Amino acid sequence: MNMLSRLREIVDDVANASSFRQALNLLVVNVRAALGTEVCSVYLINRTRDRFLFAANEGLNQSYVGQYTLAAGEGLVGLVAERAEPINLKDAMSHPRFRYLPQIGEEPFHSFLGVPVIHHRIVLGVLVVQQRDERKFDESEEAFLVTLAAQLATLLAHAEATGEVLALTSNDAVRENQLFRGVGGSPGIGIGTAVVMQPLADLNSVRERETENVTQELLIFDRAVESAREDIRRIGEQFGGSLPAEELALFDVYLHMLDDTAIPGDVRERIRLGQWAQGALKQVIREHLRTFEQMEDPYLKERGADVKDLGLRVLAYLQDTRQKKQHFPEHTILVGEEITPGMLAAVPADRLVGVVSLAGSGASHVAILARSLGIPAVMGAVDVPLYDVEHTTLVVDGFCGEVYVNASKHLLDEYALLIAAEKEFVAELDTLKDLPPETTDGWQVRLWVNIGLAGDLSRSLDRGAEGIGLFRTEVPFMTQDRFPTEEEQRLIYREHMTAFEPRPVTMRTLDIGGDKALSYFPIDEENPFLGWRGIRVTLDHPEIFLVQVRAMIKANAGLEGQLRIMLPMISSVSEVDEAKKLIEQAYREVCEEGIDVKHPQIGVMIEVPAAVYQARVLARRVDFLAVGSNDLTQYMLAVDRNNPRVAELYRELHPSVLAALRDVAKSAHAEGKPIGICGELAGTPVGAVLLMGMGYDVLSMNATNLPRIKWVIRNISFRRARRILSRAMTMDDPLEIDRFTRKEMIDAGLGRAIPRIHD
């Protein structure tokens, strides 16, 4: 067998093992056989304790597997990790870093080849082969092990995240102030005791099998569905007093998924074909999950988590496993691989102070609920060792997306002060609602909101938004199973325009493609972010574009508020000219129907580097420009905005991005046109100061961030913001810019808006 097939075989074996322990055993047995060597071992890092665990072995004393540990820098294993490269020695024993480990029976082995297993630049473990005689492992053997280690990295990273690595280790003390990063799902800081919550059931462990008794299985299934529906209703009621209607509607969506026509209908069909209820449920949920996984839109992708949650709830009833009665301490921090709304509901509201979920993002159902309930949440904290944090004190920092395990008294005291200050600050922000966003020296900035999800509307009005800077019209399209009609669209747009009357409303034309797919209009491409996206799709389908634009124009009938139509993903002037022609046609048609409507303003989104360089000629053609900094950052830096592997490289404060933002503002103003921005950067205090310094007229953001940004603007002078900007623009590094701007803001008395313990 050649090396490649052998490698594939080992990786497959390991990946399909039934447990992590078995995976490691298969690995060492197979590698030893493949290289015809005497010993193969795996050492795994336990990062909370800074030691290597002797985790699996073939050829040495087995009784020390899972027991023996080495300090991080110890021995040749330590050296491999330190250098992050293979070490191949003919006579290991004469190496100064060789450490004699008689317990594990190492003595007679001369040759040593150690290869690090590295994930995202971090050494997770070391794979070692050893041989009694003095022979150097040859280059092809070394290359084999390096290739294998690279493929194993993802598997090990997952095992580490879910605590399987820690579950293998002994109980030394956890290091103090261990920091784990995720993303902020809901702002705020919580300190409390970790309660790790497991899912009610496990879909993977269900075996598929035939049933003789279809009627009985149908009956059992229906009963389980009814009980699950009852649960959801109860959970919805439980949140009834504390959530606005829009968020409560999420529970109706949940209930609909359990309607006869949805998931249960599909499951029943499988049962009728002879599959027992649990197997049928597993098949259907898996299929649904696959569909959701293919969607790259972060909001829709997260709906897959909802389907899984429902599936597990029904499965738990089928298996008759009940939620264990758990004790929740006074300050509970809920931690889990995938926290669900049901888990959130299981904790008495007055005891829950924070949420940490290994899976998920800011678009997760739980993050949406946590934001509404005002509970700090960190999502996607993949490295938090579940088994190790149970019952320990955690600090959840939903601002920075950070979690501290085993925080020192000093750190806890600092965070307690921060929590108290933040509470006072948030109360103060409430009083700003009707005050203008004006700097201390009289410079006015317009603070508008981005609207997309249900719930955004009332939140925006509550926070005193002066207009809508970005209405992401994809959402009404995504929640249908066909393109929405003109009238369906008109009603939704009208609702927003009347709610905001007489304030301006910026409606973006359909921006599908990239990471946003419609189930009824699939776009399958190798490289979707560089493909058929935004304006490119709608110009190719004038029938879709015209219907949407007509709906927007009609929705504005009889209102004072200005309708602004905004075009996404523009990369050349011809696209603007064609879109303008279609908008004129739509406007004429609406007028011909006898409806009295104002002419809409038209604007272009600057999201592509090409548009930065042509900003002036684009500005000449339209009424306004607005930067989509989320996309502009991803295209300027060539970093996929949704890819966690390169998330570290996604820097909105990159000097090149800042230079582009500044140039676009200058170009728009040179043509006498207003410039706005509606990417996430506008809603961050640091971003807002720099953008204001650049002269941005409109900052459009998530409603949650608006009061904080208003406070920043009202407490700084325009002159000072310009001074900060001009210094920041001389810097070479995004982190330096961030640090500098923060420090300047703290010196200017704005520290309250950027709560943070460390740099």
3-state DSSP call for residue 579? Answer: helix
- Kindly identify the residues of this chain, within the stretch 710-749, that bind Mg ion according to CB under 5 A: none
Report how far residue 509's alpha carbon sits from residue 708's, in angstroms, rounded to the nearest whole number: 29
**Rounded to 10 degrees, what is the CA torsion of 652, 657, 658, 659?**
180
Gyration radius (Cα) of the chain, Å = 29
How many DSSP H helices and E strands does the chain contain? 28, 22
Residue 470 CB, nearest distance to Mg ion (Å)? 9
Q: How many alpha carbons lie under 13 Å from residue 507 in its C-beta half-sphere?
A: 32
**Which residue in 288, 365, 496, 654 is the catalytic one?**
365
**Which residue in 40, 119, 496, 678 is the catalytic one?**
678
Q: Catalytic annotation on 365?
A: yes
* Binding segment (CB under 5 A) for Mg ion, from list 267-275, 319-327, 627-635, 689-697: 627-635
Q: Quick one: 106 or 607, whose CB is closer to Mg ion?
A: 607
Q: Quick one: 169 or 629, whose CB is closer to ligand PEP?
A: 629
Binding mask 135-174 for Mg ion (x = CB under 5 A): ----------------------------------------
Q: What share of the chain is helix, strand, coil (3-state, %, to 5)?
A: 50, 15, 35
Closest CA to 152 of 126, 174, 172, 175: 126
Q: Quick one: 417 or 530, whose CB is closer to ligand PEP?
A: 530
Residue 650 CB, nearest distance to Mg ion (Å)? 14
Token pair belonging to 607? 């999201």
Q: Catalytic annotation on 678?
A: yes
Sole binder of Mg ion in the list 474, 631, 640, 738 (CB under 5 A): 631
* Binding segment (CB under 5 A) for Mg ion, from list 22-30, 32-40, 155-163, 625-633: 625-633
Total residues at interface with Mg ion (CB under 5 A): 3
What are the distances in angstroms from CA 620 to CA 110, 470, 523, 697?
Answer: 75, 21, 33, 17
Closest CA to 308 of 383, 247, 228: 228
674 touches, from Mg ion, ligand PEP, none (C-beta below 5 to 8 Å by class): none
Binding mask 557-596 for Mg ion (x = CB under 5 A): ----------------------------------------
Q: Quick one: 206 or 605, whose CB is closer to ligand PEP?
A: 605
66 touches, from ligand PEP, Mg ion, none (C-beta below 5 to 8 Å by class): none
Q: Quick one: 397 or 631, whose CB is closer to ligand PEP?
A: 631
3-state DSSP call for residue 334? Answer: strand
Closest CA to 505 of 488, 492, 520: 492
Give residue number: closest CB to ligand PEP.
Answer: 628
Report how far residue 511's alpha carbon sits from residue 533's, in angstroms, rounded to the nearest whole number: 7
User: What does the buried/exposed string (b/e) look like for 588-623 if buried means 16 or more CB atoms within 10 Å of the residue's CB?
Assistant: eebeeeeeebeebbbbbbbbbeebbebbbebbebbb
679 touches, from Mg ion, ligand PEP, none (C-beta below 5 to 8 Å by class): ligand PEP
The Cα angle at residue 336 between residues 335 and 337, in degrees rounded to 5: 145
Residue 8 belongs to what H/E stretch?
Answer: helix 3-15
Residue 265 CB, nearest distance to ligand PEP (Å)? 34
* Binding segment (CB under 5 A) for Mg ion, from list 126-134, 440-448, 475-483, 629-637: 629-637
3-state DSSP call for residue 387? Answer: helix
- CA–chain centroid gap for 207, Å, is 32
Q: Quick one: 336 or 513, whose CB is closer to ligand PEP?
A: 513
**By the rule CB under 5 A, 652 interacts with Mg ion:** no
Residue 568 CB, nearest distance to Mg ion (Å)? 6
Q: Quick one: 263 or 606, whose CB is closer to ligand PEP?
A: 606
Residue 627 CB, nearest distance to ligand PEP (Å)? 7
- CA–chain centroid gap for 525, Å, is 23
* Binding segment (CB under 5 A) for Mg ion, from list 45-53, 89-97, 129-137, 599-607: 599-607
Sole binder of Mg ion in the list 264, 311, 628, 674 (CB under 5 A): 628
Q: Quick one: 182 or 452, whose CB is closer to Mg ion?
A: 452
678 touches, from Mg ion, ligand PEP, none (C-beta below 5 to 8 Å by class): ligand PEP
Q: Quick one: 278 or 700, whose CB is closer to ligand PEP?
A: 700
354 touches, from Mg ion, ligand PEP, none (C-beta below 5 to 8 Å by class): none
Residue 697 CB, nearest distance to ligand PEP (Å)? 16
629 touches, from ligand PEP, Mg ion, none (C-beta below 5 to 8 Å by class): ligand PEP
Residue 468 CB, nearest distance to ligand PEP (Å)? 12
Residue 677 CB, nearest distance to ligand PEP (Å)? 8
Report how far residue 629's alpha carbon sits from residue 609's, in angstroms, rounded to the nearest whole number: 11
Sign of the dihedral through C-alpha 646, 648, 651, 654: negative
Residue 631 CB, nearest distance to Mg ion (Å)? 4
* Binding segment (CB under 5 A) for Mg ion, from list 9-17, 105-113, 345-353, 626-634: 626-634
| DSSP of 248-300 | HHHHHHHHHHTSTTSHHHHHHHHHHTTB-HHHHHHHHHHHHHHHHHH---HHH
Report how far residue 412's alpha carbon sits from residue 403's, in angstroms, rounded to the nearest whole number: 12
- Residues lying near ligand PEP in the complex (CB under 6 A) are found at 470, 472, 511, 607, 628-631, 678-679
Report how far residue 368's alpha carbon sits from residue 289's, in angstroms, rounded to the nearest whole number: 20
* Binding segment (CB under 5 A) for Mg ion, from list 38-46, 284-292, 628-636, 682-690: 628-636
Q: Quick one: 472 or 662, whose CB is closer to ligand PEP?
A: 472
Sign of the dihedral through C-alpha 97, 103, 104, 108: positive
Residue 696 backbone dihedrals phi, psi, to 5 degrees: -60, 130
Binding mask 23-62 for Mg ion (x = CB under 5 A): ----------------------------------------
Strand 563-567 to strand 505-508: parallel, antiparallel, or no bridges (unpaired)? parallel
403, 397 in Cβ contact below 8 A? yes
Closest CA to 572 of 528, 527, 535, 626: 535
| DSSP of 642-697 | T-GGGGGG--TT-HHHHHHHHHHHHHHHHTT--EEE-SGGGGSHHHHHHHHHHT-S
470 touches, from Mg ion, ligand PEP, none (C-beta below 5 to 8 Å by class): ligand PEP
654 touches, from Mg ion, ligand PEP, none (C-beta below 5 to 8 Å by class): none
- CA–chain centroid gap for 167, Å, is 27
Query: Which class for 177: exposed (0-12), middle (13-18), buried (19 or more C-beta within 10 A)?
Result: middle
Q: Quick one: 163 or 628, whose CB is closer to ligand PEP?
A: 628
- Kindly identify the residues of this chain, within the stretch 326-365, that bind Mg ion according to CB under 5 A: none
Residue 163 backbone dihedrals phi, psi, to 5 degrees: 90, 0
Residue 630 CB, nearest distance to ligand PEP (Å)? 3
Q: Quick one: 127 or 570, whose CB is closer to Mg ion?
A: 570
Q: What single letter denotes the amino acid at residue 156?
A: L
Residue 635 CB, nearest distance to ligand PEP (Å)? 9
472 touches, from Mg ion, ligand PEP, none (C-beta below 5 to 8 Å by class): ligand PEP
Residue 700 CB, nearest distance to Mg ion (Å)? 12
Residues labelled as active-site residues: 365, 678
Q: Which residues bind Mg ion (CB under 5 A)?
A: 607, 628, 631
